[in-house]
Chain A
Amino acid sequence: MSNLQEKLAQLENIADNPGKQLDKLVAQGKKVVGCFPGYTPGEIVQAAGMVPFGIWGAEIELSAAKKYFPPFYSALAQSCLELGLTGKLDKLSAAIIPALTDTLKCLGQNWKVGVPNVPYIHLVHPQNRKIQAGVTYLAKQYRKIAKELSAVSGQEVTEAGLQKAIDNFNKHRAVMREFSETAALYPDLISPKQRNAVIKSGLFMDRNEHAKLTAEIIAECKKQEPKPWPGPKVVITGIIADSPALLGILADNKFAVVADEVAQESRQFRADVPKDADPFVGMARQWADLEGCSMAYDPYKKRGGMIADMAKKHGADGVIYLQTKFCDNEEFDYPIVKKDLDKAGLPSVNIEVDQQMRSYEQARTALQTFAEVISA
């Protein structure tokens, strides 16, 4: 195995086994805090001396969660709760669940009731995020959360400590942006599954360590000359794109993911936390400046245009809209994104994804057809 493949396998192993990674971190004496979708302030967790750990559901059987959710709930929310109810996340010291959508509001409330041994930390991102009052409100929320986290870890979150964590996270973000560009240039070296694994593994690791490993992967790639890619190039968008089956179908059809607009992926590192005299305000400004996310208020509906620009910049032939089943925020965005892509002359396809999916045959057929259409 080459150096590159070894390093990729290392991160793939972590991305595929978050449970083991959690055990490992706790065995090292670290306190770990569950960071649910999306925009959970990992910087504050790190400044409180703990490890932020992404919780984005899992492909598992649902049973206990059905006592809390009706069947028409996203598998992502249900499986997060299932993991908690069945004790799989007992090693977490706390769980931060933002109330960004109606589904997430209910997940937070059900977590509080059903998983009392892992304390629930409530976070409301203001939707009127661009006005000063929204920024002030969120900065106060973050200060409140900092106190709650300090109580869990016993380490006070100071402004200096938070600024240091923000700097660490921004460095990590810069590396991840570079990785995304690199993966677009070397689809022959990095498959869609590996691209996802490198990004996803960062959710479960100390960010500094993850940045170092990712930088090594980038350096390994750059030792080679990029080769022309014979298959179709695409931008993917949605909440999550981590299904191994689906990523396998992309590889089978020679799709190269040249950029993403996915909540679990680039949206996490697309923009840095801006510098501010008050680091809590800086973090609030990052949310205020965010664009193109279905969970953040946007009457101008910029997402479609942003994806079209992203596709043009990266020479993509089309866009794959990965619709998380029962996620109404994404369902509302789709018709408008589709119109914008059509206007830009970009072919697109909507593929429904669900962590409870047993058969991907429909998705396979649709993606095969899409590959043929955009390659023609």
Chain B
Amino acid sequence: MSEQKQSERVPAKILLRDIAAKAYQKAWDAKNRGEKVGWCASNFPQEIATALDVAVVYPENQAAAISAKGGGLRMCEHAEGMGYSNDICAYARISLAYADLKSAEEMEMPQPDFVLCCNNICNCMIKWYENIAHELNIPMILIDIPFKNDYETDDDSVEYIKAQFDQAIKDLEKITGKTFSEERFKEVCEISQRTARAWLKAASFCAYEPSPLNGFDLFNHMAVAVCARGTVEAAEAFEQLAEEYEQAVKEGSSTYKGEQKYRVLFEGIACWPYLRATSTPLKEMGINVTATVYATAFGVIYNNSAEMMRAYSYVPNCVSVERAADMRVNVGRENKIDGAVIHTNRSCKLWSGIMPEIERRIRDELKIPTVTFDGDQADPRVFSEAQYNTRIQALCEVMAGNKEAAK
């Protein structure tokens, strides 16, 4: 940061907000120029589209934004009117509704000319994108990442994933008329790595006591890690974010206002329709979120193409229960948590279906209390504020007792 004073800089959080907006504007501009624009799954290897300079937008981001701004119920109900069960993932319902309505006041994005799907977060993604592709009569590219039972990804899977990368590049060239350059791909991979390292570094400051950040900040910044991780601007903004946290550690300041009495793991996707309702009780009781496996899921690290294939298979929802539990236990241990708040997310079958076992392992290994609450990432009908408050209170009491006993 040499000559420029910290105070003169545009804060990283503003930069990050602008980058997300710019990424969507870029897609609108491409659409207006008559170029093809895609809808892309959050953990699809974005390196491919970025290297081809193909604009894509992210339905998961959009669904989160729509629900955070209060449009979740309206969109979910529209999808239900189309014949979709309310059991289906609310992101998918919102997205299917948007593809039908072509408008949502909370967040607009261009309609797709193709879809890029990757099932390393769930197979539900495949069904959702199949339906969009069919309804809009547009091509679909799928990268299928086999769900793992072993701790490590085997060579057979890597070979299969690699062949799909090659196929996806060919298909995308054909759809968009653009030409793939190996050199540009390498460059994008390097930038993505720089972004991922900076993002992970910024998130790692949660380990400090007190943490220089309110853990909920990560949910907000995550949009850039999803939609712009192949850009230099994103890398620089996350590097600046990390510097700001470093500075805050030196100054003893934090974006978390108030005393940080307890540190917790917040497990699961944020309850977007109730961000305030889920963060306020934590703040009132002096609880800061210092660990989350979700935010760091977008810090995909690799050194070569084989490692890249593997890295995309190690995202939290693609791994065995043992590895999934270790991810939580490790981040909890590194960030010195006193307890865990677990979101039983009605939308996410995969996440919720192994969470009871993971919860037992978190308790056993870290010897900490955990609580669960019922909610949903985007459908506001599932969450109960009273249940949430009671559970957080109960957690707080046990954490307080543990701290007292440790004195």
Contacts and interface: CB of A to CB of B under 8 A. Distances in A.
Interface of A: 67-70, 72-73, 99-103, 105-110, 112-113, 120, 122, 124, 126-128, 131-134, 136-137, 140-141, 294, 297-301, 323, 325-326, 328-329, 331-336, 338
Given A102-B350, A110-B357, A131-B163, A126 B146 contact: yes
Given A106-B354, A109-B354, A332-B131, A297 B321 contact: no
A72 B350 CA distance: 11
A328 B90 CA distance: 12
Given A128-B164, A134-B160, A297-B130, A328 B88 contact: yes
Contacts of A101: 123
B157 interface: yes
A102 B123 contact: yes
Given A301-B130, A336-B131, A73 B353 contact: yes
A132 B167 CA distance: 11
Interface stretch (B23-31, B77-85, B236-244, B390-398): B77-85
A331 B347 CA distance: 13
Contacts of B144: 126-128, 134, 297
Contacts of B139: 299
Interface in B96-125: 119, 122-124
B142 interface: yes
Given A68-B357, A105-B350, A301-B134, 6 more contacts: A73-B349, A102-B123, A110-B357, A122-B150, A137-B159, A332-B128
Contact of A328 (B82, B157, B164, B349): B349
A100 B160 CA distance: 17
B65 interface: no
A264 B122 CA distance: 23
A128 B89 CA distance: 23
Contacts of A131: 163-164, 167
Contact of A299 (B140, B149, B354): B140
Nearest to B160: A137
B147 interface: yes
Contacts of A67: 356
A106 B130 contact: no
B142 A297 contact: yes
A198 B59 CA distance: 46
Contact of B147 (A105, A301, A328, A329): A105
Nearest to A332: B127
B126 interface: yes
Interface in B139-167: 139-140, 142-144, 146-147, 149-150, 156-157, 159-160, 163-164, 167
B83 A334 contact: yes
B330 interface: no
Given A102-B124, A328-B89, A112 B149 contact: yes
B62 interface: no
Interface string B324-364: 00000000000000000000101001101111110000000
A309 B354 CA distance: 40
B88 A70 contact: no
B346 A72 contact: yes
B356 A113 contact: no
A69 B353 contact: yes
Contact of B119 (A127, A298, A332): A127
Contact of B156 (A100, A102, A137, A334): A137
25 contacts: A67-B356, A68-B356, A69-B353, A103-B353, A106-B350, A107-B353, A108-B149, A109-B321, A124-B146, A131-B164, A131-B167, A133-B160, A133-B167, A137-B156, A294-B127, A299-B129, A299-B139, A299-B140, A299-B142, A301-B131, A325-B87, A331-B88, A332-B84, A335-B83, A336-B134
Contacts, number: 147
B83 A102 contact: no
Interface of B: 82-85, 87-89, 92, 119, 122-124, 126-131, 133-135, 139-140, 142-144, 146-147, 149-150, 156-157, 159-160, 163-164, 167, 320-321, 344, 346, 349-350, 352-357
A137 B130 contact: no
Contacts of A109: 149, 320-321, 353-354, 357
B389 to A, nearest CB: 21
B85 A334 contact: yes
A331 B134 contact: no
Contacts of A69: 353, 356
The 8 closest A-B pairs by CB, nearest first: A106-B353, A133-B163, A335-B83, A122-B149, A332-B127, A102-B350, A137-B160, A127-B144
B124 A328 contact: yes
A29 B220 CA distance: 61
B33 to A, nearest CB: 27
Contacts of B164: 128, 131, 133
B172 to A, nearest CB: 15
B85 A127 contact: no
A145 to B, nearest CB: 12
A72 B163 contact: no
Contacts of A323: 85
B125 to A, nearest CB: 9
B147 A124 contact: yes
The listed residue with most A CB atoms (<10 A of its CB), out of B126, B139, B150, B167, is: B126
Contact of B84 (A112, A122, A126, A335): A335
A331 B85 CA distance: 6
Nearest to B115: A299
